[in-house]
Amino acid sequence: MSTVLDGLYYTKEHEWVKVEDGVATIGITDHAQGQLGDIVFIELPSPGDEVTQMLECGVVESVKTASDLFSPVSGEVVEANKNLLQEVDGEDNEDFHPEYVNTDPYGQGWMLKIKLSKPEEIEQLLSAEDYKKLI
Amino acid sequence: MDNVVQLKKTALYERHVEANAKMAEFAGYMMPIEYPSGIIKEHELVRSSAGLFDLSHMGEIEIRGEWAEELVQYIIANDISALLPGSVIYTPVCNHQGGVVDDVLVYKMEDRIMLVVNASNKDKVHKWLMDQERWFCSQPERYSCLVVDRSEKLSIIAIQGPKAEEILQKVTPVNLSEIGYYTFVKGGICKSEGIISRTGYTGEDGFELYVPNEDAVAIWDTVLDAGREYGLAPIGLGARDTLRFEAKYPLYGHELNDDRTPFESGIGWAVKLEKNDFIGKDPLKKFETEKPARKMIGFEMKKPGIARKDHKVFNAEGKEIGVVTSGSFSPSLKKNLGLAVVDRKGIKIGTQINIEIRGRMVPAQVIKTPFYKGSVKSAKKNAD
């Protein structure tokens, strides 16, 4: 029922990864957003922060519960999706749309762009086929 | 073995599955947490029109016999002595230390009394009642009462929202406008011998129908059908929680627990210390003249973050002053709000506090409660 896009990599923690020119764009899968329900709050690392594969790098909160976000790859955060942040530069964000993660998890709901420090880690991720079997 | 097999199902279970509800275990039952439209849409529907709830996991315990009223008076902290048959009252049931065993609704009928208890406390309260009955009714010149758990036989269907009366009126000959807030009548829905009660847990006007299990599906379908033009839809336990949270109705296990008195949980108004002996009266009696050290507050997050149950609360000077009991994004107000029990001293509307969220201090401010006032006919008194 949930959409799994071909050509992306996936993790057991239900994140997706798209790799272009040494930069990974990551988000959570359609299956994950469906399980969480209405998403209302997201905490992400800032550009310049280092993240490590398999370690917590943020939090995704639905109405009911908070879930950790694990980084599927290691590297430096080059961009965080501003639409998912309640506050930008200390000010209320008028373009705050956490619901993008529900409505468009592989598109407008993307979360981070990470410059890969260990590109070989990609090989440990799941293919779309493998991920479909998991869910 | 498959765990799911061991869980109980309400009479409406198939209806929830057919509606593609997200089902999860709650208090031993498989219950609908949310339907495909999601908690926020469900919440908004109840606030703007009406929603239909299956609450059949809740417990109904009847007390019958000549001494039934005296026994109930001894067990509950509120006072039913002046209550007429056909009336409902909200009350904490306290332990001997003054903590809250459960909060219940008491239905006073001509020949018996029914207590509606929290699903998760059903067995605990039933045992508590049996134990108290044994002692109370063994006293000289008293006769025993019959304490009967009817939970497995009864379904509860609630219709809540500003359009609840209009919708339900289409399917019952009973004149609903004559049923006052916190009163009930017998019968009248789909030839079923149930109860129609003007009560609820959402902050909106509405009714709770107590009906035999075998009638539940027909009533559910009939009411849903009657409400189609109003957009009436089933609502899961997720939205039930956000609705009660905005209305500041306490929830056992969150605001209420066995170690916290009603006066610290914002329901001191439901304790009648002037009444004859009841369990918990001795330790609570001091609150006639003194304020409890802790009180319940509502707060709004001033910086990004959602407070959740058990997060610690600090004052502006950095001293730990209490604990969050419930916290959520508020679908009606579009803000992150919370309820907490904190040391009373120096805390009033407008006070700046901090909530520790994942090791970080996030500023919040004490605000007025309830957060949201809905269409409910008469708001409960609020002592604080």
Instruction: Give me the residue from A59, A63, A85 closest to B329, CB to CB.
Output: A63
pLDDT of residue A100: 98
Q: How many CB atoms lie within 10 A of CB B149?
A: 18
* Cα–Cα distances in angstroms (integers) from residue B212 to residues B81, B133, B218, in the given order: 29, 26, 11
Exposure string of A17-27, with b = 16+ CB inside 10 Å and e = fewer, is bbbeeebbbbb
- Assess if residue A21 is contained within a domain: yes
Among all residues of chain B, which has the CA nearest to that of A68? B358
Per-residue pLDDT band for B384 (boundaries 50, 70, 90) equals: very low
Instruction: Give me the residue from B38, B241, B306 closest to A38, CB to CB.
Output: B38
pLDDT of residue B5: 55
- Assess if residue A2 is contained within a domain: no
pLDDT in tens, A107-119: 999 999 999 999 9
**Residue corresponding to tokens 């709050």:** A41
Task: Name the residue ranges covered by the structural domains of chain B.
Answer: 3-58+153-246, 59-149, 293-367
Q: Angle at Cα B212 formed by Cα B211 and Cα B215, nearest 5°?
A: 85
Q: Which CATH number describes the domain made up of B59-149?
A: 3.30.70.1400
Least confident of B5-9, B150-154, B202-206, B298-302: B5-9
pLDDT in tens, B65-118: 999 999 999 999 999 999 999 999 999 999 999 999 999 999 999 999 999 999
- Assess if residue A132 is contained within a domain: no
pLDDT at residue B193 tops 90: no
Q: Angle at Cα B258 formed by Cα B254 and Cα B264, nearest 5°?
A: 65
What is the 3 state secondary structure string of B189-204?
ECCECCEEECCCCCCC
Q: What is the CATH number of the domain that holds A119?
A: 2.40.50.100
Q: Which of residues 10-49 of A touch B (CB under 8 A)?
A: 37-38, 40-41, 43
Name the CATH superfamily, with its identifier, for domain B3-58+153-246: Probable tRNA modification gtpase trme; domain 1 (3.30.1360.120)
Q: Angle at Cα A20 formed by Cα A19 and Cα A22, nearest 5°?
A: 85
3-state secondary structure of A109: coil
Choice between A103 and B139, residue whose per-residue pLDDT is larger: A103
Whether residue A38 and residue B303 make contact (CB cut-off 8 A), yes or no, is no
Domain that holds residue A98: 9-126
Percent of chain B with pLDDT over 70: 97
- Assess if residue A134 is contained within a domain: no
Read off the tokens for B240. Answer: 């039930």
So what's the ipTM on this one? 0.93
pLDDT in tens, B22-71: 999 999 999 999 999 999 999 999 999 999 999 999 999 999 999 999 99
pLDDT at residue B177 tops 50: yes
CATH classification of B293-367, choosing from 3.90.1660.10, 2.40.30.110, 3.40.190.10, 3.40.50.280?
A: 2.40.30.110
Residues contacting A39, CB < 8 A, separation 6+: A33, A60, A61, A62, A98, A99, A101, A102
pLDDT of residue B188: 80
pLDDT of residue B383: 35
In order, the DSSP letters of B50-63 are -EEEE-TTSEEEEE
Instruction: Give me the residue from A64, A85, A86 closest to B238, CB to CB.
Output: A64
pLDDT of residue B144: 86
Say whether residue A64 is in contact with chain B using an 8 A CB cutoff.
yes
Pick the residue of A35, A39, A63, A83 with the most B CBs within 10 A to test the interface with B by mutation.
Answer: A63
In order, the DSSP letters of A11-27 are -TTSEEEEEETTEEEEE
| Rounded Cα distance, B86 and A35, in Å | 43
- Assess if residue A52 is contained within a domain: yes
- On whether the CB atoms of residues B340 and B296 are closer than 8 A, the answer is yes
CA distance B40 to chain A (A): 7
| Rounded Cα distance, B287 and B312, in Å | 26
CA distance A62 to chain B (A): 9
3-state secondary structure of B207: strand
For residue B46, list chain A residues with Cβ-Cβ distance below 8 A: none
For residue B242, list chain A residues with Cβ-Cβ distance below 8 A: 63
Domain tally for chain A? 1
- Assess if residue A56 is contained within a domain: yes
Question: Going by DSSP bridges, is the β-strand pair B360-367/B320-330 parallel, antiparallel, or unpaired?
Answer: unpaired
